[in-house]
Amino acid sequence: MKDNDLQKLVLYKISAFLMMAICVVTIYVISIYVDLFGVCSLFLRGDIIQYNGKVIISIGGVPLFIWMFFFSLRILLRKGMKPLKKATVIGNIWLGFSIASCCLGFVMSFIIPFILMFSSYTSCNTDKLGSYYVIHPDLCRTIVPHDKLR
């Protein structure tokens, strides 16, 4: 093997490993720092609903990051720099599910505000409470937002 080919192989394997690391870090950040109460409150429809479109998009993108992790693992474990010839059935199914989930999360992040606009909920129009919707505007005074980044 020539030195140039060895350098390409090392860069190829390092880039697959870095892609795996990026996927793991992204999934970890989404699972730790995304407030799932906001998503659950949309379905529970209590007196207070918390909605943030970025959360919906993030959760919808997690299956795509899982697929990218296993695709990179497959490249990392493959000998040489040959392209992957055979696609696995479960890989194709998961890729389809991942793309559908990502697209659905993106579309829903734009549809949900219109649904909330025509529902009985009103927005708390303050800086810290902008993502909260309540049935009665007096409930905005009782909300104590928490920030996971503190």
| Nearest residue to 42 via CA among 127, 119, 100, 138 | 119
pTM confidence score: 0.78
Kindly indicate the confidence band of residue 3, based on its pLDDT and cuts at 50, 70 and 90: low
The string of pLDDT tens digits covering residues 103-145 is: 998 998 888 888 888 888 888 877 777 677 888 777 777 777 6
Which residue from 15, 124, 110, 106 is spatially nearest to 59, judged by alpha carbons? 106
Sheet containing 132-134: which strands, arranged edge to edge? Answer: 48-50, 132-134, 122-123
Greatest CA separation found in the chain?
73
pLDDT at residue 34 greater than cutoff 80:
no
* pLDDT beyond 70 at 149: no
The predicted-structure confidence for 62-75, as pLDDT tens digits, reads as follows 999 999 999 899 88
Residue 65 and residue 34 in contact, taking contact as beta carbons nearer than 8 Å: no
Q: Cα–Cα distance between 61 and 12 in angstroms, integer? A: 25
